[in-house]
A and B are shown apart, each in its own frame.
Chain A
Amino acid sequence: MSVRRRFVWRRSGNAEPLTLESSDRLRMTIRAGQREVVADCARTADGGMSAILPSGRQLAGRAVVRPDGRVEAWIGARRVPIELSDPLRELAGDAANPAGHATEIRARIPGRVVEVRVAAGDEVEAGATLLVLEAMKMQNEIRADRGARISSVECVAGQTVETGAILVRLEPAPEP
């Protein structure tokens, strides 16, 4: 399945767009400014990822979106300080509950729902993709900001949504 995503990469006080494109999610092309790299990616057995760059350099590690929305990236055993944000994640805003977590995932800009990956009753871990929303010609994955249960899905694939539309409702995950 193809993917097009746009991130904002904050570095030394500057924010620049970083885009990622892939037709198969294995060979990914990443661009930022004049720089471009094509990464041959493979999931590793322990849920991480290995990427081989055109130079032959191999990077293995993982990146997760923490509950506070920050990205934590590890290459090998080293944590790499990185500020990478997904503008659509910021745009798909939250009606925060008192605990600070979203209970409703809303669209903050108009867009088109490309894919819905969850159904009512599903339990999701923090960071799991709930749906894919296309806006500004970019496909962006809307993810859960915590472990939760989907109480309802308020949109369907192909639907155009307006600003403020509720996309998904969440409730606390049941105790294991």
Chain B
Amino acid sequence: MKLLVANRGEIALRIFRACRDMGIETVAVYSDADRPALHVTAADHAVRLGPAPATESYLSIPRILEAARKTGASLVHPGYGFLAESADFARACEEAGLTFVGPSHSAIEAMGSKTTSREIMRSAGVPIVPGTTAAAREAGELLEFGRSAGFPILLKASAGGGGKGMRSVGGEEDLAASFTRASAEAQAAFGDGSIYAEKLLERPRHIEVQIAADRRGNRVAVGERECSIQRRHQKVVEECPSPVVDPEMRSRLFSAAIAAADAVSYDSCGTVEFLLAPDGSFYFLEMNTRLQVEHPVTEEVWGVDLAREMIRAALGEPLSFTADDLAARGHAIEYRIYAEDPARGFAPSPGAVSRLRLPEGPGVRNDVGVETGSVVTIDYDPMLGKLVVSGADRAQAIERTSRALDEYEIAGVETTLPLFRALVQDPDFRAARFHTQWLDEWLSAHTLDPPEATFEEAAFAAACLSAEGGAATVRRAEAGSRWSEAARRESLRSPLAHSRRERR
């Protein structure tokens, strides 16, 4: 059996590892930019998709299906990003006779639309953020809602995602202007300018529940994750369990998440996201119908292999556990390592990874998609990998994070590691006092420039530059060419030269 991963980087490697555990052969696909990439060299089979731009490679459904046909892969895993939440891709796989490792295309479709999924959740009795259901074409349609729910409210694109077409409105007087801008943005981004409104939750936390399900109707909630450390709506640090969810709230969250999954007959691994208000009420945000970047923290705490469960489910096998089998143990925190410079407004930092030395020791897991010499291009998401640190409790996980970050050597590209080194020292982070806007506020109040070198450090640098051999090496012309020339002549002279060498 062969499984094709329609993705790249660390998530392709993560899924390949699950395949190896299960005795399934691995198939990589790649663009021209990724020919020497780790996900290709780690695979049993590899197929070129096309040029570097994702539209001609990792987003090309026909080319991916052709790669599956060519290699005889019967399973296709989309990873996250790219085609992971494309109902068209899931349907195309089914039509081509391939098994899509993910939920049904109808579940993907239902959860892909903000307004549709809100409607489904409301019918299923899952709490949703108070808001309008009909897509509005002009500001006046939302005025009544604003007055009854109370400002501030949040305008969102019906077709939306990624923060585009999103605007908060502080009061009635700002509604018309904000609506115009949000609608124009939504029109430009999605070709649909319709807008709906939600009550704006101030300082919410992002809590999500991991769902594991199979094609026999079993659905289990595998703990929650806290993902409130975000930069401009993008998760940066995630942990399991949430430091603020108590057993009573956990059971309510699990029930709501299972109800959400039941409502779309969900039959794979997925995540139901909620916003948790400071008063303890929570609301459905969206459902991600795929394996998420942050799935490892759940795996570490709950002792399950989500990538493997997804493949099992796609093959029609039952979940390898029931809710009663599961027990949480300790705490895990994930840090997303991006090739971005946090001291310069997270500017992209493409380039070659000239040095990479990963941390080791108790509690450390590295899910990394690059190696020394890998080139980080601007063609794709700049995430290099994830550092996942576990401990008996949150305090120990943070202690071990400091240690792991001190061991983590990466040179050649700027990364988000300096941000994490600062965060783990921060009293609010250590006390888990944060919400979804906390990191953006923190970043505007802190600088990440490290202190200048001390005399001892300057002395050390000077010593490095003066040591025997200098900072870099010289490759001798004579030595190399003479040896290779001699070897070449030898092999030409005597056909026995090779066989002699082989016999040794």
Contact = CB atoms under 8 A, between A and B. Distances in A.
A35 B477 contact: no
A167 interface: no
A32 B463 CA distance: 13
B499 interface: no
Interface string B452-471: 11011111111111111111
Interface in A1-20: 1, 3, 5, 7, 9, 11-12, 18, 20
B172 interface: no
Interface string A63-77: 111000001111111
Given A59-B457, A73-B457, A82-B452, A7 B463 contact: no
B472 A73 contact: no
Interface in B459-504: 459-478, 481
A75 B468 contact: no
A71 B474 contact: no
Interface in B378-413: 405-411
What band does the interface of chain A fall in when counting residues whose beta carbon is under 8 Å from B?
35 or more
A81 interface: yes
Contacts of B459: 18, 20, 30, 32, 37, 39, 51
Given A22-B466, A77-B405, A63 B417 contact: no
Interface residues of B, number: 40
Contacts of B475: 122-125
A77 B406 contact: yes
Contacts of A3: 466
A79 B456 contact: no
B23 interface: no
Interface stretch (A101-109, A112-120, A158-166): A112-120
A168 interface: no
Contacts of B457: 59, 73, 75, 80, 82
A62 B286 CA distance: 47
Contacts of A126: 472
Interface string A148-161: 01100000000000
Contact of A80 (B461, B465, B469, B473): B461
For chain A, what secondary structure do more than half of its interface residues adopt (helix, strand, loop), or is it mixed?
A: strand
Nearest to B471: A127
A63 B477 CA distance: 26
A143 B477 contact: no
Nearest to A149: B477
Given A122-B474, A127-B471, A81 B450 contact: yes
B471 A80 contact: no
Contact of B452 (A12, A28, A74, A144): A12
Given A35-B455, A59-B457, A128 B450 contact: no
Contact of B407 (A28, A51, A77, A118): A77
B463 A49 contact: yes
A93 interface: no
A61 B460 contact: yes
A142 to B, nearest CB: 10
Contacts of A121: 477-478, 481
Contacts of A169: none
A104 B125 CA distance: 76
Given A37-B456, A81-B453, A117 B474 contact: yes
B457 to A, nearest CB: 5
A13 to B, nearest CB: 11
Given A35-B455, A64-B472, A76-B406, A123 B477 contact: yes
A73 B409 CA distance: 12
Contacts of B411: 72, 74, 79
A84 B460 contact: no
B449 interface: yes
Contacts of A127: 470-472
Given A80-B457, A119-B478, 13 more contacts: A1-B468, A11-B458, A37-B456, A39-B460, A57-B456, A76-B409, A77-B409, A84-B462, A119-B476, A122-B476, A122-B477, A123-B475, A128-B471
14 contacts: A20-B466, A32-B455, A43-B469, A48-B464, A51-B460, A72-B411, A77-B405, A77-B417, A81-B453, A124-B473, A127-B470, A141-B466, A149-B477, A150-B477
Interface of B: 357, 405-411, 417, 421, 449-453, 455-478, 481
Task: List the 6 closest pairs (A to B, CB-CB), nearest first.
Answer: A121-B477, A63-B464, A30-B459, A125-B472, A127-B472, A129-B470
